[in-house]
Chain A
């Protein structure tokens, strides 16, 4: 797997993602500076890591979404290449128009830093094939603006097309939209593009890939991408 992790000023999870890619997928990614205009030749996967790109000025991800490298990321996505946006990366994907909707301030205003329980809603994507359908996984979250929202029509389209891949659930495994940790519409934690090759999610699978950290629930996501790329 040839992976590129885009580094924006203020990104701070690029090391975590690189470590997870190496540890789980055996791939040492190239770190690409945001002002570059081209991805390394043969890039299979682009990761937009978590953090606070450009200090979250204006809106989370807004300035990063207009960075020079993003034209190449967009072209890579259009070619069907894999793009993974985690946390701030998800915000950048929404701001850049690669995914619909927007992430706004958590409903109860607090920055949330803890583990979240997520239901894997579908397993026929390049990111989730290693999970069992309906599996409940534990990924950490750390965000102040992870409240996913979109207009009613977009939400209806996302649900109709089955593009919600990860949803926050209660300890009983059920979804409860009145109790969702950050207020996200329909308890949405992660969505994919219509071609299924772009995933954005707020929680951090890259931080649960080692038993030392209490869980390896995130491994499945990285292993799924390796499988998907081997199939190509």
Chain B
């Protein structure tokens, strides 16, 4: 089973890298960029076919390591 975990900074946390990218896009003249936030993507393959079980595993992975829940939130998606 393939899953994608997206980890992003909480909206209240300043994202200086996102801001820098936002500024760069503006200076390149890319139109209509309102704001940019940067995050991380983890593509994870899991053994087994039980989606509920896989979701529990991924939650554990996020809470234990992938996200620092002081500043980040995570989202789990199953892909293909």
Q: Hey, which chain A residues are within 8 Å of B71, CB to CB?
A: 102, 104, 149
B68 and A102 within 8 A (CB): yes
Q: Hey, which chain A residues are within 8 Å of B65, CB to CB?
A: 58, 62-63, 66
The answer, yes or no, to whether B33 is at the interface (CB within 8 Å) is no
A101 and B16 within 8 A (CB): no
Q: Hey, which chain B residues are within 8 Å of A183, CB to CB?
A: 14
Give the residues from 9 to 35 in chain B that come closer than 8 angstroms, CB to CB, to chain A.
13-14, 16-17, 20
Tell me the bound Cα distance from A30 to B36 in angstroms. Answer: 46
Given A107-B16, A108-B16, A109-B16, residue A102 in contact with residue B66 (CB < 8 A): no
Given A149-B13, A183-B14, residue A58 in contact with residue B66 (CB < 8 A): yes
User: How many B residues face the partner with a CB closer than 8 A?
Assistant: 12
Q: How far is the CB of A147 from chain B (nearest CB, A)?
A: 8
User: How many A residues face the partner with a CB closer than 8 A?
Assistant: 19
B16 and A106 within 8 A (CB): yes
Q: Hey, which chain A residues are within 8 Å of B20, CB to CB?
A: 109
Q: Hey, which chain A residues are within 8 Å of B70, CB to CB?
A: 100-102, 149-151
The answer, yes or no, to whether A175 is at the interface (CB within 8 Å) is no
Q: Hey, which chain A residues are within 8 Å of B64, CB to CB?
A: 66
Q: Hey, which chain B residues are within 8 Å of A102, CB to CB?
A: 68, 70-71
Tell me the bound Cα distance from A106 to B14 in angstroms. Answer: 10
Q: Hey, which chain A residues are within 8 Å of B68, CB to CB?
A: 59, 62, 95, 102
Give the residues from 182 to 202 in chain A that come closer than 8 angstroms, CB to CB, to chain B.
183
Q: How far is the CB of A119 from chain B (nearest CB, A)?
A: 24
* Chain A proximity mask over B44-69: 1 for CB below 8 Å, otherwise 0: 00000000000000000000111010
Q: Hey, which chain B residues are within 8 Å of A2, CB to CB?
A: none
* Chain B proximity mask over A55-94: 1 for CB below 8 Å, otherwise 0: 0001100110010000000000000000000000000000
Tell me the bound Cα distance from A105 to B18 in angstroms. Answer: 11
When C-beta atoms are compared, the residue in chain A nearest to B72 turns out to be A59
Tell me the bound Cα distance from A83 to B13 in angstroms. Answer: 29
Tell me the bound Cα distance from A151 to B69 in angstroms. Answer: 11
Given A150-B70, A151-B70, residue A105 in contact with residue B13 (CB < 8 A): no
Tell me the bound Cα distance from A95 to B71 in angstroms. Answer: 11
Question: Which of A59, A107, A150, A151 is the one whose CB lies under 8 Å from B14?
Answer: A107
When C-beta atoms are compared, the residue in chain B nearest to A97 turns out to be B70
Q: Hey, which chain B residues are within 8 Å of A63, CB to CB?
A: 65
The 5 A-B residue pairs with the shortest CB-CB distance in the complex, in nearest-first order: A102-B70, A109-B16, A105-B16, A102-B71, A102-B68
The chain B residues found within 8 Å of chain A, CB to CB, are 13-14, 16-17, 20, 40, 64-66, 68, 70-71
Give 18 A-B pairs besides A58-B65, A104-B14 with Cβ atoms closer than 8 angstroms: A58-B40, A58-B66, A62-B68, A63-B65, A66-B65, A95-B68, A100-B70, A102-B68, A102-B70, A104-B13, A104-B71, A105-B16, A105-B17, A106-B16, A107-B14, A149-B13, A149-B70, A151-B70
